[in-house]
């Protein structure tokens, strides 16, 4: 049974690990999940839509949003800003819906500071060689940028200990099943259910 407030799930991992692909497949299985669309200053990739995959903004627009405190997290990654709008996340959680953030590792660490009750899932590549192949297959990065992303990925993998769960993305359908199991497990945790009943029945009853 879900509590009155939704759970914030953070799906993170190295660039090229397949966060977007897994997240889209997950949402096809569970349309009740809410996706928090991130803001970015990078250029759209083929097939990406503004307001669907990301909110594409200029550097000046994002820096104004940072100054006005409109993000629960933001990061500069390989020369571009990424950020999660605060208002949408808070409003959706308060309506009782689970929210999924699909963000870079730097941003996930900021969310951990601001929302320690969030559930942090690290999406792990089958191997660094496979990760390199996935980045190259995009055809959108130069050779130097591929090298930078791989160097960054090694640093990010070292931060795995900060996460609650690790899911290996060897096959998309299997990765989705593992994440679905995590969501169900989190909603069945004793402390969440106990808190819900104590609030409903009165703290002196339980």
Is 107 domain-assigned? yes
Is 145 domain-assigned? yes
Is 90 domain-assigned? no
Is 176 domain-assigned? yes
Among 91, 102, 62, smallest CA distance to 79 is for 62
The predicted pLDDT at position 138 comes to 64
Specify the number of domains making up the chain: 1
Q: Phi, psi at residue 27, to the nearest 5°?
A: -70, -25
Q: What is the pTM of this model?
A: 0.77
Is 88 domain-assigned? no
Characterise 51 by phi-psi region: left (phi > 0), alpha (psi -120 to 50), beta (else).
Answer: left
**Alpha carbons 27 and 24: distance in angstroms, whole number:** 5
| DSSP per position, 18-56 | -HHHHHHHHHHH-TTSEEEPEEE-SPPPTT--BTTTEEE
Is 119 domain-assigned? yes
Is 50 domain-assigned? no
For the stretch 4-14, pLDDT in tens is: 789 999 999 88
- Alpha helices by DSSP H, listed for 30-171, are 59-67, 86-94, 105-114, 128-138, 143-157
Is 180 domain-assigned? yes
Helix (H) or strand (E) holding 34: strand 34-36
For the stretch 135-149, pLDDT in tens is: 777 666 677 777 777
Hunting for tokens 């970015």 — which residue is that? 40
The predicted pLDDT at position 85 comes to 87
CATH number of the domain where residue 197 is located: 3.40.50.300
Instruction: Show the domain range for 102.
Output: 8-36+97-201
Instruction: Using alpha carbons, list the distances in angstroms from residue 90 to 6, 85, 151, 195, 196.
Output: 10, 9, 34, 19, 19
């Amino acid at each position: 049974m879900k509590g009155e407030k939704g759970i914030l799930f953070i799906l993170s991992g190295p660039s090229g690990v397949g966060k977007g692909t897994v997240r889209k497949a997950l949402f096809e299985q569970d349309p009740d999940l809410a996706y928090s669309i991130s803001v970015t200053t990078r250029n759209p990739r083929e097939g990406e839509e503004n307001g669907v995959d990301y909110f594409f903004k200029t550097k000046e627009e994002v820096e104004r949003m940072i100054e006005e405190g409109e993000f629960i997290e933001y990061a500069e990654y390989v020369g571009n800003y990424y950020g999660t709008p605060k208002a949408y996340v808070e409003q959706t959680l308060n309506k009782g819906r689970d929210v999924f953030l699909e963000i870079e590792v730097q941003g996930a660490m900021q969310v951990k500071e601001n929302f320690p009750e969030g559930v942090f899932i690290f999406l792990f590549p089958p191997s660094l060689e496979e990760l390199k192949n996935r980045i190259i297959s995009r055809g959108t990065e130069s050779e130097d940028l591929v090298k930078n992303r791989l160097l960054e990925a090694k640093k990010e993998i070292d931060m795995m200990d900060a996460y609650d769960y690790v899911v290996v993305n060897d096959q998309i359908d299997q990765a989705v099943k593992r994440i679905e199991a995590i969501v169900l497990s989190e909603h069945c945790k004793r402390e969440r259910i106990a808190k819900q009943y104590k609030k409903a029945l009165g703290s002196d009853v339980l």
